[in-house]
Amino acid sequence: MSARLKWVLYTLMSLALAFGFPPLFVAPDLTLHFERLHIFLFNLCAGGTILIYHTEQRPNLSPKGIAFCILAVIYALLAFFECYGPAVAAAWVLAALVENVRERRFGFFPKDFFDPRVRVTHKFHQASLLCLAIGLFMSGLVILNNTFFHWVDLPALELRSFFLGFSFPLSLITMSVMFSLVRDQFSCSVRVLKNIAFWVVNLGVILFFVFIIFQRFGWQLFASSLLTVCVILIFTLYMRLGIREQQKNFLTSGMCFLLFTAVTGTLYIGLHLHGDYDRHSSMLLLRLHAFASLYGWNLSGLAVLIRYFDFPIRLHSSRLIAVHWLTVTVLAPLGTHYRPFAVLALACYLWVLYQMLFSRPSIGLYSQPFGPETA
């Protein structure tokens, strides 16, 4: 990946976290949707661009990748300034662009999902692109429904819900990379477990999203618990069968973040379902969950994708991971309430992100695009 593209991604990811703290620094009567920039700049703009780059497997970002990055930033800004008509057009053009990239790599119909011979890493990769395209298309429909036509009245059906819609593709591509580092096993039971994990993750999150929209907290708790069990299964397979590479340090940390988000998410839903909870404490738990998901789990995966052909990297991985955890689980959540912690969180995050993106590789190489991924 070129240094120029890394700086673009570094800027987008840095601004994304910075837009998580404006309520502490701007006038209370200034009603702007900063959370949309906080979420979309990271998940959609930076994450989507990295996904396109990783899928096309080219030394430099392609014209399609450049177009996606620019249009995604435009879409985020349009949503932020409530220019909803052009935002719908931007979302659907982005969806068509992602679908074009997916079709060129995998074909129109995702038949590989149903083929037990195809490696799970291949399935997660295609599912990531498909999920991103569907999420972009649905976000346009949500804007049309809520702003212009009002076909259905669902309070939870709003753009904020696409925190999950645009975060999930990054989770899937991270799992794709994780399973690419898992040694091929010809054991039928291992292959079955991998495919079970694939289907439980995808169907579980889709159902979880539906339960959020319809505000079915009991079913949300069930889906969240099922996904937690599945994450534990994936983590076990990865730790037992994973190749010992430096990437594994980042992805193991990422899996710990994912387990952390599973626990905090399930706890939040349980408290909400119970009904007897303190709103202030509940919101702090929700922010802790969101930061760990967005800037913990997702960032760990994106860092590996950005440096995919650079490993091993000259950096103190243990120190970096420790500062990463401190920033995401302590400083950033406190930073939503106290200005000094917000400044400190942003400073530490900038350092962590710089080390992840720009630390010197000890070996530089470029691999040819992957061939058919069959077990």
Of 295, 284, 290, 285, nearest in space to 336 by CA: 284
Residue 197 contacts by C-beta under 8 Å, 6 or more apart in sequence? 120, 230, 233, 234, 237
Q: Rounded mean pLDDT of 326-337?
A: 92
Topology at the third CATH level for domain 3-358:
Cytochrome C Oxidase; Chain A (1.20.210)
- pLDDT score recorded for residue 371: 38
What pairs with residue 118 in β-bridges?
374
List, for residues 101-139, the tens digit of each pLDDT value: 999 999 989 999 999 888 899 999 999 999 999 999 999
- pLDDT score recorded for residue 287: 86
Average pLDDT of the chain is 85
In this structure, what token pair is assigned to residue 183? 């040694």
At residue 253's C-alpha, the angle toward residues 248 and 255, to 5°, is: 90
Rounded distance between C-alpha atoms, residue 370 and residue 180, angstroms:
11
Residue 146 carries which DSSP code?
Answer: I
Residue 362 contacts by C-beta under 8 Å, 6 or more apart in sequence? 312, 313, 314
- pLDDT score recorded for residue 327: 95
Rounded distance between C-alpha atoms, residue 96 and residue 88, angstroms:
12
Number of neighbouring beta carbons within 10 Å of residue 75:
27
Say which residue, 270 or 260, is predicted with more confidence.
Answer: 260
Question: Binning pLDDT at 50, 70 and 90, where does residue 366 land?
Answer: very low
pLDDT score of 326 more than 90: yes
The whole-model pTM stands at: 0.89
Question: Could you tell me what percent of the chain has a pLDDT over 90?
Answer: 42
Rounded distance between C-alpha atoms, residue 105 and residue 245, angstroms:
27
Chain centre to alpha carbon of residue 43: 6
Q: Rounded mean pLDDT of 156-167?
A: 75
- pLDDT score recorded for residue 192: 87
- pLDDT score recorded for residue 20: 87
- pLDDT score recorded for residue 374: 37
In this structure, what token pair is assigned to residue 29? 């009567």
Say which residue, 112 or 244, is predicted with more confidence.
Answer: 112
- pLDDT score recorded for residue 30: 65
The domain spans of the chain are: 3-358
pLDDT score of 319 more than 90: no
Of 340, 335, 333, 217, nearest in space to 284 by CA: 333
